[in-house]
Amino acid sequence: MSRPLAVFAYDFDGTLARGNMQEHAFIPDELGMNHTDFWRETQLLARAQRGDAILAYMHLMLEKAREKGLELTLESWRARGAAIRLFPGVEAWFTRQNTRAAALGLDLRHFIISSGNRELIEGSPIAHEFERIYASAFMFNARHEATGPALAINYTGKTQYLFRINKWTLNEWDNEAINAVQANRDRAVPFDRIAFFGDGLTDIPVMRVMTDHGGHPVAVYDPDRPYTEAAAAKLLRDGRARLAAGGDYREGSELDGLAAEIIAEMARGVTTDMFG
C-alpha cells in the first residue's frame, strides 16, 4: 500500500444491476414465482416470526428451492449469478476508475456492501473486481450444499462494513479488531477517501454515516424506472446523498463524470493532508 488507499463501495441491487438479483432468473425461472409474490411472502414471514426480512428471504429461498428439488451447492448458486443483468458500462467501469486514481497517486479499491446474496454476486462477471464482497451469505455443509444463513446484512448492518474498510479490518468474523480503539489518523482509509454508491432505503444509514464523516455518498437510479429517480431525489433533499446520477456506467456518462470529480477531490485531500 505505497500509494494512499481510496475506496469505491457499492450496493448491488438497483445500483450495479436492475432490480433484485434473485429476480433475474432464480425466482421466475427456477421457482416459477412472480417476484412480487415472493417478496410479499418474505414480509409476511418476517412479521409472523418477528424476525429480520433478510433472514426471512434467505430462508424462503432455501425452503422453496428444496421443495422444487433444486441444486443447492455453492457452485450452483454462483452459476445463477451469471444471469444477473448489469447496467450499461459496468464491466469496463472499474479499470477506468483505477487508471484515473493511479494517475493522481491513489490506490483505488472496490467493495460491495449489499443485502443481496454473496454467492450470486460471486457468480457475476464483475466478481473479480472487488477487494471484498460484503453481502448476505449461506452456510454450507461438507457437501458444499447451502443449509441456512451464515451472514445477513440488513440496512443498519451495512454501516459496520464502512468502518471495517475505514480501519482495514476486512474479515467479517473479526469482532475484536473492528471494535479496537484506533485513532482516526491511524486508519487506513479516512472517510474522505471513501465513496458509496447506492439506490434505496436499505442504503440510508450508510449514506448518513458517509455524510456525517465527510465521505462521498452517491445516489444511483434506474433511468428506465421513474420511481427510482424520485427516490434518489429524496435522498438528495434529505441530505442523505451528496450527488445523484442514472445507472449508466459508460465512459462520458454523468455518473462517470461524478466519479472523476470524486477521485480528484480525494487526491486533493491527500495533498492537503501532506502539505497543509
* pLDDT on residue 242: 85
Q: Are residues 232 and 246 in the same domain?
A: yes
* pLDDT on residue 4: 95
Say which residue the cell 493511479 belongs to: 102
* pLDDT on residue 224: 87
Q: Are residues 126 and 215 in the same domain?
A: yes
Residue 261 DSSP SS3: helix
CATH at residue 239: 3.40.50.1000
Q: Which residues of the chain have pLDDT under 50?
A: none
- What domain range includes position 157? 5-19+86-275
Residues 51-84 as b or e (16 or more Cβ within 10 Å = b): eebbbbbbbbbbebbeeeeeebebebbbebbebb
| Tens-digit pLDDT profile for residues 57-73 | 999 999 999 999 999 99
Q: Are residues 200 and 212 in the same domain?
A: yes
Residue 79 DSSP SS3: helix
* pLDDT on residue 231: 84
Across the chain, which distance is largest between two alpha carbons, in Å?
A: 63
* pLDDT on residue 234: 85
**Residues in Cβ contact with 67 at an 8 Å cutoff, skipping those fewer than 6 apart:** none
Q: What's this model's pTM, rounded to 2 decimal places?
A: 0.94
Q: How many domains does the chain have?
A: 2
* pLDDT on residue 274: 58
Q: In whole angstroms, how far apart are CA 131 and each of 27, 108, 128, 214?
A: 28, 10, 8, 22
How big is the CA angle at 24 (ends 256 and 120), to the nearest 5 degrees? 80
Residue 7, by phi and psi: left (phi above 0), alpha (psi -120 to 50) or beta? beta
* pLDDT on residue 1: 52
R_g of the chain, CA atoms, integer Å:
19
Interstrand relation of 132-140 and 146-151 (parallel, antiparallel or unpaired): antiparallel
* pLDDT on residue 48: 98
Q: Are residues 40 and 137 in the same domain?
A: no
* pLDDT on residue 186: 86
* pLDDT on residue 59: 97
Q: Are residues 39 and 91 in the same domain?
A: no
Distance CA 105, CA 124 (A): 30
Helix (H) or strand (E) holding 199: none
